[in-house]
Amino acid sequence: MEISRRPFQNAGSAHSLVPMDVPEASDEDLMAAWVAGTAGAFEQLYARYRQRLYRHLLRHLRDNALTDELFQDVWQKIIAARAQWRPEGSFASWLFAIAHHRLGDHWRRSAHRPPAPSDADERLAQIADPDTPERALSEFERRRQLQLALDGLPGEQREVLLLRLEQELSLDEIGAIVGAGRETVKSRLRYGMDKLRARLAP
């Protein structure tokens, strides 16, 4: 099954297709409802995280076609593993842990990080929700400078920064995703932020 970046129309059991029209429901409540068979709960989770996940993958991969492929893979793994989800953890940390492992598999197979394509900055600027107005030039330039600064960081520092700043995960959640202790995560964040500030300084 191919997963579109548009919300799912059907992602649960065929006999339970009543959507959960509860915008204020927590991710964990929606996940529990989906595991119980409510397809609409998954549609809401997908709508909440599709842009966040896609942007996160594209930050690492800098290639739209490859990002589309891994984006599909991550959601397929979420669907396949939904029965293994446990309410003790957050859905966000579970989702990005799966993305982390999928990225790791990709880099191990690739054995190297390829250079960014020449139009990578334009690609990044185009992943905003298509319903929003076109971004101003100053915003594009700010994102371009940020991406260049991120590209210059060691991979471990870049990953914890993206999980913290863009995905707003806690230190403990990040540690669980990357397989590092809280103090190690704090250290990577501190050094990464110092380097980022230095690169972005006027």
Task: Identify the residue whose tokens are 């590209």.
Answer: 151
Q: Beta-carbon neighbour count of residue 47 at 10 Å? A: 13
Burial environment of residue 99 by CB neighbours within 10 A (0 to 12, 13 to 18, 19 or more) = buried
Q: Which domains does the chain have, with CATH numbers?
A: 17-114 (1.10.1740.10)
Per the CB < 8 A criterion, the answer to whether 10 and 37 are in contact is no
**Residue 39 pLDDT greater than 70, yes or no:** yes
Give the mean pLDDT of 158-168: 85
Q: Which of 12-21, 43-52, 166-175 has the least mean pLDDT?
A: 12-21
**Residue 179 pLDDT greater than 80, yes or no:** yes
Residues 25 and 4: their CA atoms lie apart, in Å, by 24
Distances (CA, A) of 172 to 64, 86, 115, 192: 30, 16, 31, 17
When pLDDT is cut at 50, 70 and 90, the band that residue 150 belongs to is confident
Q: Which of 7-16, 46-55, 89-98, 130-139 has the least mean pLDDT?
A: 7-16
Residues 76 and 98: their CA atoms lie apart, in Å, by 10
In this predicted model, which residue has the larger pLDDT, 67 or 200? 67
**% of the chain beyond a pLDDT of 70:** 72
On whether the pTM is more than 0.75, the answer is no
Residues 28 and 30: their CA atoms lie apart, in Å, by 5
